[in-house]
């Protein structure tokens, strides 16, 4: 970088552009961590082995992840592959029903052994352990007993589960994520019925709705997630953090949102969407209460935070995790507010588009390449929420599972988004780490199992050997992490203004 600055001084401004169009691993701040991630049900397999009991994900997918990619038996092989790739950190989740099969009480010694072995293997290879406590997979026994996240009882049981994890693993865990994507889990699992536990009510659910209340349960489940998260953070801070020196936070799904047109209606709708999709959780965590717009629209269906709960929730994080894949366009749909009965989607009162005429889908065949959206998202977090420490906990490109190992679109994606992240950091974003989703091809619940994949490494799930094969993106990321290459930036400008003028 000193050479770059010297050239700027000696030559002319054109060199500034040239230098800015290249980056390497060394350009990121000291302490910044790069890694990749997976989640338990998506990769572990061994669903009926060694004392594990079903989670709501097992039930919802009808056993689709029974084998997955068998990391339970192949963790040493996978950690060796991580080390060879150059990963500095691995983000994974603990299966609650593997560790505590009944949801509370008895701790399964085999589950304890597995996660100790995995963490020890990571540490022995110099790889940080970043651990999620929950990813759509509470024990089915708790769902059967009291309805899982629609009951306040889960706050107690989740905190007790977290206590076991902190006690048994916390001396070797760098970072804890309490709940992954609570905003998507609340909407998908309790409004639309497209994720576990599949609760919804007509006419709002997508597919079959056998039980639930789409008008109320998403807000109730989110309320209990906020309380469980805050209770867990308080436990960690009071009992473990001073000795273990880790950090704890929560991770949200965060597509960036821009107006579909230049109209004042679409601009207002975009701000409303930010309140519903970001502010739903971030406002209580930072300011102690929900956004005013959200309270006004949802009314009594939004469980109010008491003064004591507000004090518990406010500031209950060391970092905010973000899951970001692309940017979508927002159109005003205030007609939905006139409905006598509404769900979360109708309350948000927006239509969403991948492109001007294409409705938004959760997992398309390929995400549009809009790296400027990541920079805009991080600027929004900085300006709106006081620039908290941030980790990009998922970012990556989707493709059909059996596509070529020459995944040039994924390489182009990672190149562009990591470059945009560097731009955001240089502009003052307090981002501390970046994780590619995902390390391996994994069982994707919204991607029809193994039909769509995100992995740096291909796994042939039709082959009993489940051999891992590096894609071009694995080689690219490895060379980047090891500092072997200086990256030529993709020349991708922000097309939003052009889009809005059409």
Which one of the listed residues 181, 217, 309, 332 is annotated catalytic?
181
Q: Where are the alpha helices (DSSP H) in 195-304?
A: 217-239, 241-244, 264-274, 280-287, 292-298
**pLDDT at position 194 over 80:** yes
> Rounded CA gap, 330 and 354, in Å?
9
CB proximity list for 6: less than 8 A, separation 6 or greater: none
Which contiguous run of DSSP H or E holds residue 257? strand 256-259
**pLDDT at position 45 over 70:** yes
Q: What is the pLDDT of residue 445?
A: 86
Q: What is the mean pLDDT of residues 446-464?
A: 92
More confident residue, 4 or 236: 236
14 SS3 class = helix
Could you tell me if residue 16 is inside a domain? no
Could you tell me if residue 1 is inside a domain? no
Could you tell me if residue 94 is inside a domain? yes
Give percent above pLDDT 70 in the chain.
Answer: 93
pLDDT digits (tens, 9 = 90+) for 106-160: 999 999 999 999 999 999 999 999 999 999 999 999 999 999 999 999 999 999 9
Q: What is the pLDDT of residue 8?
A: 27
User: Active site includes 332?
Assistant: no
Could you tell me if residue 454 is inside a domain? yes
Could you tell me if residue 67 is inside a domain? yes
Could you tell me if residue 490 is inside a domain? no
Q: Where are the alpha helices (DSSP H) in 130-250?
A: 140-146, 153-169, 182-190, 217-239, 241-244
Q: What is the mean pLDDT of the chain?
A: 92
Sign of CA dihedral 279, 260, 361, 257: negative
Name which of 247-256, 354-363, 446-455 the model is least confident about.
354-363
> What pTM, to 2 d.p., does this model score?
0.93
Could you tell me if residue 152 is inside a domain? yes
> Rounded CA gap, 253 and 181, in Å?
5
Q: What is the pLDDT of residue 358?
A: 84
Residue showing tokens 């549009």:
368
Q: Please, which pLDDT band fits residue 491 given cuts at 50, 70 and 90?
A: low
Cα 379 → chain centroid: 18
Q: Please, which pLDDT band fits residue 490 given cuts at 50, 70 and 90?
A: low
State how beta strands 399-400 and 452-453 pair. antiparallel
> Rounded CA gap, 332 and 350, in Å?
5
pLDDT digits (tens, 9 = 90+) for 373-423: 999 999 999 999 999 999 999 999 999 988 789 999 999 999 999 999 999
**CATH code, 229:** 3.20.20.80
Tell me the two tokens of residue 196: 């576990």
Where in the sequence is the domain holding 263, given as residue range(s)?
Answer: 35-327+364-485
User: Active site includes 462?
Assistant: no
Residue showing tokens 């560097």:
422
Which one of the listed residues 128, 143, 217, 394 is annotated catalytic?
394
Which contiguous run of DSSP H or E holds residue 409? helix 408-426
Could you tell me if residue 76 is inside a domain? yes
Domains contained in the chain, number: 1
A 10 A CB-CB count for 166 gives: 23
């Amino acid at each position: 970088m000193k050479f770059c600055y010297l050239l700027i001084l000696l030559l002319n401004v054109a060199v500034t552009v040239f230098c800015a169009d290249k980056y390497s691993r060394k350009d990121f701040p000291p302490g910044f961590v790069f890694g990749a991630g997976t989640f338990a049900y998506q990769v572990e397999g061994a669903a009926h082995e060694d004392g594990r009991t079903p989670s709501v994900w097992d039930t919802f997918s009808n056993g689709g992840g029974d084998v997955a990619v068998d990391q339970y038996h192949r963790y040493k092989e996978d950690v060796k592959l991580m080390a060879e790739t150059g990963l500095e950190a691995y983000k994974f989740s603990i299966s609650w029903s593997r560790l505590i099969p009944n949801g509370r009480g008895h701790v399964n010694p085999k589950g304890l052994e597995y996660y100790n072995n995995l963490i020890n293997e990571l540490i022995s290879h110099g790889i940080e352990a970043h651990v999620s406590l929950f990813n759509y997979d509470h024990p089915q026994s708790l769902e059967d007993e009291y309805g899982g996240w629609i009951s306040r009882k889960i706050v107690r049981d989740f905190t007790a589960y977290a206590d076991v994890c902190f006690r048994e693993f916390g001396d070797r865990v760098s970072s804890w994520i309490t709940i992954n994507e609570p905003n998507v889990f609340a909407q998908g699992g309790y409004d639309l019925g497209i994720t576990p536990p599949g609760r919804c009510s007509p006419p709002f659910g997508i597919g079959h709705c056998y039980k639930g209340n789409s008008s109320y349960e998403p807000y109730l489940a989110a309320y209990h997630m906020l309380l469980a998260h805050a209770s867990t953070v308080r436990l960690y801070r009071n009992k473990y953090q001073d000795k273990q020196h880790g950090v704890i936070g929560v991770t949200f799904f965060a597509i960036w949102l821009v107006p579909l047109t230049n109209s004042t209606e679409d601009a207002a709708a975009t701000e409303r969407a930010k309140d519903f999709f970001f502010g739903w959780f971030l406002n209580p965590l930072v300011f102690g209460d929900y956004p005013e717009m959200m309270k006004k629209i949802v009314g009594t269906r939004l469980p109010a935070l008491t003064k004591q709960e507000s004090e518990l929730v406010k500031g209950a994080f060391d970092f905010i995790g973000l899951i970001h894949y692309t940017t979508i366009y927002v159109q005003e749909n205030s007609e939905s507010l006139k409905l006598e009965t509404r769900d979360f989607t109708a309350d948000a009162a927006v239509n969403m588009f991948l492109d001007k005429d294409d409705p938004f889908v959760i997992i398309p065949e390929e995400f549009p390449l809009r790296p400027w959206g990541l920079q805009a998202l991080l600027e929004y977090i900085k300006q709106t929420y006081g620039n908290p420490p941030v980790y990009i906990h998922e970012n990556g490109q989707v493709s059909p599972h059996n596509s070529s190992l020459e995944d040039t679109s994924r390489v182009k994606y990672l190149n562009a988004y990591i470059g945009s992240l560097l731009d955001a950091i240089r502009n003052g974003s307090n981002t501390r780490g970046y994780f590619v989703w995902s390390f391996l091809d994994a069982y994707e619940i919204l991607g029809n199992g193994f039909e769509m994949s995100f992995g740096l490494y291909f796994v042939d799930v039709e082959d009993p050997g489940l051999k891992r094969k590096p894609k071009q993106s694995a080689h690219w990321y490895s060379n980047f992490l090891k500092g072997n290459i200086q990256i030529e930036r993709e020349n991708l400008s922000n097309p939003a203004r052009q889009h809005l003028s059409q």
